[in-house]
Structure 1
């Protein structure tokens, strides 16, 4: 795999669909021959990022103002060395502060965590690298 392979999954902005994103993350990490620990770390990190966006920075489990029927997009950019996961929801102002426990969890589970807000959406991006020696 010379270039990044891109897989995009869209699900309703609803906690009931987080299992779909967790399963996709685990399946892709398995394909890259991540260790069991790395697979679990990525699975939990994707779940945590998506749950944070659904909750909307503490605005409630209903999505805090996300329109009914809105969709969450989870994009996986897969290379031989890593997986970059970008989880996006419609709307802005949905992020918790970076000094919170969920942010600490994301940083501990992945190599890199970043956020972006556009005029129409909020995105959390995670990068999980394979450890050396998994060839």
Structure 2
């Protein structure tokens, strides 16, 4: 999904430098059995950003909904690609997979309503060959 050469070229900020965003990537089989890994990693990263316990629980639910949406569209044998962008008080997660013929997003579905309510920002990108859900959650401690 991404070209790691950009990390080596110096274009991306160094992780751990206060105020600079850091990127984390995770690739798993597109199978519901692995969603718990995505939720656990997300919770750990949010804790590192000093999110509250309530924020982390909301984020776990949002990640479950986003994962379910993406997995429903995944091609057989596809990967689930998770890309995190971490910034002070803010976590952005994009979950994507290969999907030859994704259906149009259903913005009236219960899953979308839950996701849109729990995330500060959310979006779906469904194009031939790919389906992704992006969500941004900001800590309730941020002004």
TM-score range, shorter-chain basis?
0.7 to 0.9
**What is the CA–CA distance in structure 1 between the aligned matches of 2:103 and 2:37, rounded to whole Å?**
21
Partner of 1:85: 93
TM-score by length of 2: 0.80
The structure whose Rg is larger is: 2
Runs of 4+ that moved beyond 3 A:
none
Q: Deviations over 1:82-114 (max 9, x none)?
A: 000000010141454001110110011111111
Conserved? CA contact 2:51–2:89, under 8 Å: no
Aligned residues: CA RMSD: 1.7
Unaligned runs of 5+ in 2: 1-17
SS class of match (1:24) = helix
Query: What is the CA-CA distance between 1:79 and the residue it aligns to?
Result: 0.3
SS class of match (1:99) = coil
**What is the CA–CA distance in structure 2 between the aligned matches of 1:99 and 1:133, rounded to whole Å?**
30
**What is the CA–CA distance in structure 2 between the aligned matches of 1:95 and 1:10, rounded to whole Å?**
24
Partner of 1:52: 69
Partner of 1:36: 53
The change in CA–CA distance for 1:53 and 1:133 in structure 2 (over 3 A counts) is closer
Query: What is the CA-CA distance between 1:67 and the residue it aligns to?
Result: 2.6
Match of 1:110 among 109, 112, 119: 119
